Amino acid sequence: MTTPSSSGAPRGGPPLTEDGAEDLLRCICFKTGPPRTVGAELEWLVHDLRDPRLSVSPGRLAAAIDALRAVPLTAALTFEPGGQLELSSLPAASLMECLDSLAADLVAVRSALAPFGLGLGGYGVDPWRTPRARVLREPRYDAMERVFDRVGPAGRTMMRESASVQVCLDAGVDAPGPLDYRRRWRLAHLLGAVLVAVFANSAVHGGRRTGWRSTRQSLWTDLDPVRALAPSADGDPRGEWAAHVLDTPVMCVRSAAVPWAVPEGLTFREWLRTGRPRAADAEDLRYHMTTLFPPVRPRGHLELRMIDAQPGPDGWMIPVAVATALFDDPVAAESAERAVAPLAVLAGRDPAPRNPLWRTAARDGLGHPALHAAALDLFGSALDALPRIGATAGVVGAVASFHDRYVARGACPADESLEMAS
């Protein structure tokens, strides 16, 4: 959930019109061109190395954060409201450049945390403790919590106790073919459900079984009736997304004074039309976009946000490699479209992640026959494509091992973590 500064007041640019906002959204959200770059954002739970069930005091965490900020890293280092650590890579020219850069940063981060007796946990939600206290007291998160509390407890849990692997891929080309940005947008909303099921890793929360393979995804489903939904994936992506952004309620109105105003039910379109509580500008629109959390978020590139954090020090590499292969290799992309096409019937016409396909993926993982069949095809295509996009034998081997350990058996990491539950 990497964001711009949470505490800065707006710059006070010229007022934005409704037509100007639509034009800006169409220009900046889907930047087309041949896929050349890949990025990833890795969120981790920070826990006690000896006993992850123990609480980490705010002072101990603050001291570790201060030490980490002095460590030279290639990725951007940020923290989530519950103290989760996030590394956001720079756009890399290849899959291996992305993986190697993040792997080196993670070695440095773990080395810096070790003297404080802290480590990184790869789980979609905290399996040991709930609730976690919110350690970041910033106007953005104060506003976010107030908005989510209007709906229910899922928002607080997501903010404080969840972690993910997010994959960032170029939007695609503005021309017919398997890399057409329109086809990639549609593919992402069917393939995304399979990624939820394959990499589900949050069946235990606070020491108890939740009934979901991906509790994290269930939280996003219940988070907000509009803010966490995807618009239609069947129409024109630019137009559909622009309308969705403008018709989503504003989370907050930034100001020099705190706390920030948290209007109820004011869409960005209405803000533009009324000019109240003050005139909105282009920076307000850009900030508003960071407060929308659909499973696939267009930010010039496509941000795939549905994957649980993965177990082990290098488990995060596998979803990054698989997603990149299936989207950026033209042969694999066409195969992926064929593999997920039957899932459209299960998805129906409701938006992700609230439709039956996404709910089934989060609840059952690969226990559903259609999701299992799609996953088998997709991993076969990814394994074929990875050498073509420059993946090393080690990465290909790791993906193959994951396939044999989980996908071939219709299982996911969550099935193993269920053994942790009391």
Per-position DSSP letters for 395-419, written without gaps between them: HHHHHHHHHHHTGGGT--HHHHHGG
Tens digits of per-residue pLDDT, 346-363?
999 999 999 999 999 999
Closest CA to 285 of 31, 21, 10: 21
pTM value > 0.85:
yes
Q: Which residue has the higher pLDDT, 175 or 418?
A: 175
Model confidence band, residue 421 (pLDDT cutoffs 50, 70, 90): low
Q: Is residue 8 pLDDT above 70, yes or no?
A: no
What distance in Å separates the CA atoms of residue 158 and residue 334, rounded to the nearest whole number?
34
What digits encode the pLDDT tens for the residues 159-198? 999 999 999 999 999 999 999 999 999 999 999 999 999 9
Average pLDDT over residues 370-394: 98
Whole-number pLDDT of residue 164 = 98
Rounded alpha-carbon distances, angstroms, from residue 219 to 3, 252, 295, 356:
20, 21, 12, 15
How sure is the predictor about 13, in pLDDT bands with cuts at 50, 70 and 90?
A: confident
- 247 has pLDDT over 50: yes
Specify the pLDDT at position 7: 47
Q: Which helix (H) or strand (E) holds 385?
A: helix 369-385
Kindly provide the residue ranges of all beta strands, DSSP E only, lying in 163-261, ordered along the sequence.
164-170, 204-205, 208-209
Calculate the CA 197 to chain-centre distance: 15
The pLDDT value recorded for residue 385 is 98
> Which phi and psi angles does 78 have, rounded to 5°?
-140, 175
Q: How many other CB atoms are there within 10 angstroms of residue 167's CB atom? A: 26
Among 66, 354, 48, smallest CA distance to 231 is for: 354
The b/e string for 266-282 (b: 16+ C-beta within 10 A; e otherwise) is bbbbbbbeeeeeeebbb
> What's the pLDDT at 418?
81
pLDDT digits (tens, 9 = 90+) for 274-307: 999 999 999 999 999 999 999 999 999 999 999 9
Statement: residue 201 has pLDDT above 80: yes
Query: Does 400 score more than 50 pLDDT?
Result: yes
The answer to whether 304 and 168 are in contact (CB under 8 A) is yes
3-state secondary structure of 306: strand
In this structure, what token pair is assigned to residue 38? Answer: 């890949």
Question: What does 75-136 look like in DSSP terms, one character per residue?
Answer: SEEEE-TTS-EEEEPPPBSSHHHHHHHHHHHHHHHHHHHGGGTEEEE--SB-SS-SPPPP--
Model confidence pLDDT, tens digit, residues 119-140: 999 999 999 988 888 999 999 9
Answer for the pair 76, 2: CB distance below 8 angstroms, yes or no: yes
Write down all domains in the chain, each with its CATH number in brackets: 18-409 (3.30.590.20)
How far apart CA 185 and CA 297 sit, in angstroms, is 10
What's the rounded Cα separation, in Å, for the pair 213 and 211?
7
The yes-or-no verdict on residue 5 having pLDDT over 50 is no
Contacts of 264 (CB under 8 A, 6+ apart): 150, 249
Q: What is the pLDDT of residue 6?
A: 46
**What one-character DSSP code corresponds to residue 48?**
E
- Give the percent of the chain with pLDDT over 70: 96
